[in-house]
Structure formats: structure tokens, C-alpha cells
Structure 1
Amino acid sequence: MLVVAIGVGWSTVIGVAQVSDRPAVFLAAGLAAYGAVLAAGGWLLTRRLSTRAATRARIVGAAASAALVLVPTAWALIAPNAPRAVPDPAGLRHWALPDGTRLAALLVPARPRATGDPIVFLHGGPGVADMDHDAPVLGKLADTGRDVWLYDQLGTGRSSRLADPSGYSLERDVADLEQVRRRIGADRIVLIGHSYGATLAANYLARHPARVSRVVFSSPGRLVPQVGDVSGTGMIGRLDTRQQLAVFGSILSPRAMLTWNLVRANPRAAHALSGDDEMDARFATLYRQSAPGLVCADRPTPPTPARPGFYANQVPLASTRQADDIRPTLAGLRVPALILKGACDYLPWSFATDYRRSVPGSQLIFFDRAGHQTYVEQEAEFLAVVRAFLTGAPSPVPPWRGAEPPSNYQGVR
């Protein structure tokens, strides 16, 4: 009976949240449903007892049942600390978008002067901006005579958060990237997209092919996002037991678990219960705990971004609208493209080969000592390969032409 009551109460919270954004309404409805089921069950179980015994049993049962649900409920009302504050990098600027939101952007100027199309780096996630650690590496490509731009996508890093989180989407990120290109003032740009950033780069290329002169897909995410895709959880399977328990402990805390479920029912309701500061802090903790799964076992764990965007990450992943298949459009383009894949990347090998099949003339470079963070784990090799690609020189690492991965590949096929 107790299990049924908890199930009914939880389902009521999620159901009411679909029509009301007010936490007081959907939480009260869930508690009322829980109490009603328990009261009905208690009456049924004790109706044949004497009046005195029935009263005593109902009081004890009510007290135990209330404690069982009120303690987690109280825990769920306690919000964690806000994300830690970090100073802005020198030269950071904020660009206003047409709807009043702002994107944080950083320029690493070309050295010695700009002679080629500017580079725009697209971080992963979605929602995992880490300009503080990405700029020192990607900025070294400025020695190719190209300005290097990094920006935090909407809802993450130092960029604006949306009051209505249901506005986060791949389509919005594509539109924002076009605004970035216009703000830079470049007729064409070079895109370097990492993980989800590769998905964004491919979708931007499909919609604005004349605006891209070259593109690099680094540890690419799925080319065409799928409803219910769980490939992003692959890194957890690479953690040891202690690390996995820490991750599950963060995910299964009552307030976090409720918010994650509410995102799928109604992002506005989730946001009303748990705001950006709270959930960004939770997301940063979860990233830190799962980060060992991003890299090869003998590599240092990558640093944790100061302010990843929870809703910018979760709302697109929870979308039930199937993304447009851009493969037919890409098949008709002739834009130089490079695909970079690490030996122990947690994302499947098939993602990289999908890009190679879909983008004519693209080349796949295999990094034998890197995981998901190729530009962190094999920085010198990464920069050498990308510099050669940007200048039209032969790659210092021969392209991998096989359909199957190399024998030392450690990830999922």
C-alpha cells in the first residue's frame, strides 16, 4: 500500500506540473494524493479491527507514513549552494541578441595579423561552457593568422539564462551562431565544434553553407539528435564503483531527482522549483564526479567548468520532437571537413563515421592516446593536425580510412 501511495503521489506531482508551473500547487497535489491513498488503504486494512485497535493502528500508520514522506520532502526543499564565482578572463565581452539575452564572447587575436577567416569554437554539452580552460588551448591557433573566437552558448557559462527554459534548443543555438557570425563581421567563418558543438556546427553548415569555409568536428556528438538518446551516459559506465556511487548519490537526491523528472514534464515547473543557480551548481558537481569517464584511464581528470548550464543541457535532451535529418543537405556540399576521434572516447565510433559518410571529402583522424577531450589529452598533436588542416598542408597523422575502428580503440562501436 505504501509503495502504491508513493507512486500515486509522485505521478500526481508530475501530472499536475504539466498544467501548473507553481511548486506550491503540484507539490501540495502530490502530498494530498499520497495521503488520500494511505487513508483509504489504512481504513481497508483496519476496518475489521475493534474500534480501539483500529484507531491505534491508524495513528501509528499515519505517523510512520508521514515521516516517510515528509523527511524526503523537507530534504527536497533544501537548495544547495550557488555555483562558485570566478573572475572573467581579460577581454571578455557581452553581445546583446535581438531578444535581449546576452552571449559572453572572447577574442584571441590573430598573430601577427589576421589573414584568414576567423575561427569560432563551439563548446560541448549542450550547456558545458568552459572558456577559462578552452581558450588557452584553442587560442594557440591564432598563430595561423586567424582570429579565434570562443563564446558561451545561451544558458551556460557567463551568458544569459532564459526565464522560460523551454526556449533552449538546437535550433536556437544555430540561430545564435548566425548572430555571432554577424557580430564578428565575417562573411565566412571556420568552425571547430567539440562534442555537441560538432552537432551544432553540422546543423549550422546545413543551414548556412555559404558562411562556412572549413569545419572541424572534434569528438562529435550524434549528427542528428534522437529522441530519448542515452549515448551521453556512456561515460558513467567507465567509472569505478566508488565513482559511480558518488554520481548516483547526486542524481538520486530527492530534490534533484524531482527536478530532473519535472524537466521532462514541464521545464517551466522545474525552473520554478529549482532555479538556475541551484541546478547549475548541481550540474557542476555531477560533471566533476563523472569527468574521469571523459578521458583515458591514465590521463588526468579534466577541470570542472565553473558554471555549466543545467537547463541548457537537459531541456534539449528531453525534447520529444525529432530533429531534422540534415544528411541529404550535407551530401550536396563541398566544404573541407575534419573529424577527430579518440581511442577511448565514450561516444560511439558510429557517430564519427556518420559524419564521414555524410560530409563529402571529410577525413577522419584517430588519436590513439585520447578520450573525449582530444585537445586536452593530446594538445600538441591536436594543434598540429588542425593547423595543417587550416593551412591545407598534409596531416601529420594519416587519416583513418577503415569502416571499423583501429584495433586499439577502446570505446563503443
Structure 2
Amino acid sequence: MLLAAVTAVVVAAITFVLVAAWTTSVPTGALLALLLLAGSCYALTWLLGRKLSRRSRRLLAGGTTVAVVATVTLLAAATVFRPAAHPYVAASPTAATRYWDLPNGTRIAYTRTAAAATAPAGRSPVVFLHGGPGVPGEPGGAVLSGPDGLPQAGFDVYVYDQAGSGLSTRRDDARDYTVQRHVDDLEAIRRQIGADKMILIGHSWGSTLAAAYVATHPDRVEKVVYEAPGGLTGEIAPLAPGADERRTPRQRQIEPALISPRVITAFLLGGRNPEAARQLMPDREADGLNSALFPASPSPVCDPAAEVPTPPGTGFWTNVATNNSLRSWDPRPALRTNRTPALVIRPECDYISWETTRSYREAMPQATLVYLRDAGHVVQLDKPAELLDIVRAFLLDRPLPLPAYTGQEPPR
């Protein structure tokens, strides 16, 4: 009878995931799974009890089915369908926070640091694209727009929270978090700013978004900076050799402590239908899980033991769904003939593979790659002044403070 019960539970679980993913209805999936569980458990028990009398087989099959369905229902209610309380590091507006209401329905939170009055006028605005997807609040925007930053050189600097993170819109349907929708948001932002062209500075996934925008709107970008870039194409960017080994014992304990039947189910659903997964695990809970998982990532600085605060306002479902949409995205054919000047910054301690960084240099004919030693994936945490010097020189057409690196293998 145990074999019948286990088989029925497995079939029901698979049914729940498939139905919920297909219909975007968790209740429908749960109901059909229970019905299938009851039917398959009864049928299997009936077959296995064929040596018994007809009355005994009915009693055995009925009793086993009731027991299995009741047990599974209680276990599912206590695990898969029981919300978890993950502490969420929320984003808070400041006096400088403003909002764009885009024509496509997206509400975007942003800050603008105006060019200094004493600086040359008429430069294209700088737009900083944070990583993730769904990790706003990175220090890069603050470094670039700070007292000694790009506004002093005559650049307006815009830093915004991409949809699904920070203070910006959480979309009604998680399936609407796509690369194309992020590109559309950025184009709508350009129109809101009223700029003919923008200068894009992308960090990590922000570089992926910048490349996608350059490929889609090649005439709207004056220059582009790829800082510690994430994957250029639909393939997940592999880790650099040794990156996982640099995680501390404390970091390695975080993920196993957070894994549960509910989290596993949400991940399984998220890979097929992010909206069905969001119905199971709503934004607030999922974003809290994202905050809790962040410290388990490889260190974003060169010192793996350094404590790095969790960025506020991270968005879980924009990360999952946007990465899903990346599977069919490849901007390289459009970038091969694009003459936009591009700067690729490779930090020495980046946990993303060297081949990923090099692919940006190889994708654009006007790309220059520089190698910054003693800096991690979030360059501005280790080398804020050096990052600013490199970017400022590039934007002002001055000699770069670091030589261009043209090798196929990373420097030794």
C-alpha cells in the first residue's frame, strides 16, 4: 500500500506544478492534484489488493485514499501553502526621489543630479542601470552622481529603480518582466527626459540591459559603459574559477537553511510560469526571500570575509522572469555593426567569468576593455575613485588612466 500512496503523491505533485504553470491558477492546480491523488491512490490500492474480496478491496482502497489525501492536504498546508516571514530590506524614498509615470503604465522611481552650473552645458545625460535584475540601491549611482562625480563635468545623472524593484512598479503579471519590456521602459525614460541621446552606464545585469537597448535603439546612445558586466546573451553567465570557493562557511549555511518545499515549488513554477509562482509566493514574501538569499552570493568585493550590506528594495520575480526571457535574447548580431563607443571594465575579483566580460569587447567594434586590479564585482565598493576617474576620462574623450587590455586570457 505504501507503493500506491507514494506513486499517487508523486503523480499529484507533478500534476499540480503542470496545471498551475499552464493555467496560472494555484487553486485550480491544487484541486486537480487532490482529485488525481484520490483517484490514482484508490485505483492503485484496488489493483494491489486483487487477492482480497471485493468488499475488503473497497474498504482498503477507500480507507487508504482518505488517509493519504488527508495526510497530503495537511502536509501541503503546513509546508507548500504556508507563507514564510522573511525579513525584507525595504527601500525608502528620500527628499530627492521623483517618479515617472510612463505611457506603458509603469511607474518608475528615480533621482536626478543636475549638472553643475559652472560646468560646460549641452552634454548628453547619463543614465545608470543597476544590476540584478531587481537589485537597486547599488552604490554605483551614488558614486557617479556624488559631489566629485559626473555632474561636476557637466552631466545630468539619472539613477532609477527598474520595474519590479525598489520604489518602482511591481507588475500585475510577473510574465511581463521581460528584457524587451525593460528596454521599452528605458526608451520611455529617454522620452521623459527629452534627450536625443543618452549615455548608459550599466553594472552587472545593467550591462545586459544596456547592450539590449543599444542593439534595439542604436541611434539613441552616445556612449555606453559596461561595468563588471553580466551575461550578454541568453545563457546564464558562468562564475569565474574559484568564485564559489571564496564563499565563507557562514555564506554556505544560508541557502540550505532557507530551502523548503514552498521555495522549491515556487522555483519549479517560476521556471515555467512566473505569474503562477507569484500567485503561490506573493511579492512581499518573495522579495524578503531575495533579501535573505543575497548574503549567500559570492562576495562582491575582493575581501571574501568583508560584510556587505544587503541592498534595499530587491525584487525577486523581476529577477526570475527577466532571466527566463533572456533565454531567447541575443543582441550580438545587431551590435557587430554598431559604432557606439563602449568601455568595458573588468574588475580583478569579479565572480563572473572572464569570458563573459570579453564577449562585450568582442561584440562591439568600438569597445575598449580595461582591467582594474584589487576590485570586486561591485567596483565602487573597492575602488570608487578609480572607477569615477576611468568613466569620466572615457566620457570626456581624455586618455584613460588604465591601458586598454587586448589579450584573450585574463592578466596574470
TM-score by length of 2: 0.87
**One-letter code aligned to 2:153:** T
Q: Report the number of matched residues.
A: 401
- Counterpart residue identity of residue 256, structure 1: V
2:202/2:229 contact within 8 Å kept: yes
Q: Counterparts of 1:362 and 1:356 in 2: how far apart (Å)? A: 5
What are the residue-to-residue correspondences of 1:396-407 with 2, within 5 Å? 396-407=401-412
Give the equivalent residue in structure 2 for 1:78.
82
Amino acid at match of 2:209: L
Query: 2 CA distance for matches of 1:232 and 1:280?
Result: 24
Amino acid in structure 2 at the alignment position of 1:244:
R
1:110 to 68, 93, 115: 115
The alignment status of 1:157 with 2:166, answered yes or no, reads yes
Separation in 2 of the partners of 1:44 and 1:294?
A: 58
Change (3 A) 1:69 1:318: farther
Per-residue Cα deviation, 1:248-304 (whole angstroms, up to 9, x for no partner): 332x312222112112232232222222112111111111332x4333344624321
Partner of 1:91: 96
Q: Which residue among 278, 281, 293 is the counterpart of 1:271? A: 278
Q: Is the 8 A contact 1:46 1:58 kept in 2?
A: no
Question: In structure 2, what residue type is equivalent to 1:355?
Answer: Y
Q: Pick one of 10, 21, 26 that aligns with 2:24.
A: 21
Matches of 2:120 and 2:50, distance apart in 1: 85
Task: State how 1:363-374 maps to structure 2 within 5 Å.
Answer: 363-374=368-379
SS of the equivalent of 2:186 reads helix
**Where does residue 344 of structure 2 map in the other structure?**
339
Note the 1:181-200 alignment, pairs <5 A.
Answer: 181-200=190-209
In 2, Cα distance between the equivalents of 1:240 and 1:65?
43
372-381 vs 66-75, greater mean Cα deviation = 66-75
Give 1:285's aligned amino acid: A
Note if contact 1:299-1:377 (Cα within 8 Å) is conserved in structure 2.
no
Query: After superposition, where does 1:38-187 map in structure 2 within 5 Å?
Result: 38-48=41-51, 63=67, 66-67=70-71, 70-81=74-85, 83-111=88-116, 112-113=118-119, 115=121, 116-130=123-137, 133-140=139-146, 141=149, 142-187=151-196
Q: Aligned with 1:343: secondary structure?
A: strand
Matched residue, 1:378: 383
Whether the 8 Å CA contact 1:73–1:254 is kept in 2: the answer is: no
| C-alpha contact (below 8 Å) 1:118/1:147 kept by paired residues | yes
With 103-112 and 162-171 compared, the bigger mean Cα shift is at 103-112
Who is 2:238 aligned against?
231
Change (3 A) 1:105 1:6: same
Name the CA distance, whole Å, in 2 between partners of 1:359 and 1:320.
Answer: 19
Compared with structure 1, are the counterparts of its residues 18 and 218 closer, same or farther at alpha carbon in structure 2 (3 Å cutoff)? Answer: same
List aligned pairs for 1:388-399, cutoff 5 A.
Answer: 388-399=393-404
For residues 292-311 of structure 1, the aligned pairs below 5 Å read: 292-298=298-304, 300-311=306-317
Conservation of the 8 A alpha-carbon contact between 2:134 and 2:164:
yes
Mapped to 2, the partners of 1:379 and 1:401 lie a distance apart of 24
Q: Is the 8 A contact 2:239 2:353 kept in 1?
A: no
User: In structure 2, do the counterparts of structure 1 residues 272 and 65 end up closer, same or farther at CA, with 3 Å as the change threshold?
Assistant: closer
What is the aligned partner in structure 2 of residue 329 from structure 1? 334
Q: Cα distance 1:110–1:52, how it changes in 2: closer, same or farther (>3 A)?
A: same
C-alpha spacing 1:42/1:308, structure 2 compared with 1 (3 Å): same
Residues 384 and 7 (structure 1 numbering): CA distance in 2 closer, same or farther, change over 3 Å? same
Q: Distance in 2 between matches of 1:7 and 1:340?
A: 48
Contact 1:190 1:214 in 2 (8 A): yes
Letter in 1 for 2:200: L
Q: 1:92 to 1:272 in 2, by over 3 A?
A: same
- The code of the aligned residue for 2:247 comes to L
Structure 2 Cα separation of the partners of residues 153 and 268 of structure 1: 18
Note the C-alpha offset of 1:172.
0.9
- The SS at the match of 2:349 is coil
Q: Which runs of 5+ in 2 are unaligned?
A: none
Residue 265 of structure 2 corresponds to residue 249 of structure 1 = no
RMSD value, Cα: 2.9
CA displacement 1:185-214 (0-9 Å, x = unmatched): 222211101111111111211222222111
Q: Secondary structure at the match of 1:76?
A: coil
Shift of 1:53: 12
Contact 2:230 2:237 in 1 (8 A): no
Residue 210 of structure 1 corresponds to 219
Q: Which residue of 1 aligns with 2:11?
A: 8
CA contact (8 A) 2:346 2:370 kept: yes
Residues 236, 293 of structure 1: 8 Å contact kept: no
Deviation at 1:368, TM superposition (A): 1.9
* Larger CA deviation: 216-225 vs 57-66: 57-66
Name the SS for the 2:74 alignment partner: helix
TM-score, normalised to structure 1's length? 0.87
CA separation in 1, counterparts of 2:369 and 2:20?
Answer: 46
Deviation at 1:243, TM superposition (A): 2.3
Residue 381 of structure 1 deviates from its aligned partner by 1.5
Residue 345 of structure 1 contacts residue 370 of structure 1 at CA under 8 Å; is this kept in 2? yes
Identity of aligned residues (%): 37
Task: Please state whether the residue corresponding to 2:79 is helix, strand or coil.
Answer: helix
The residue type equivalent to 1:10 in the other structure is A
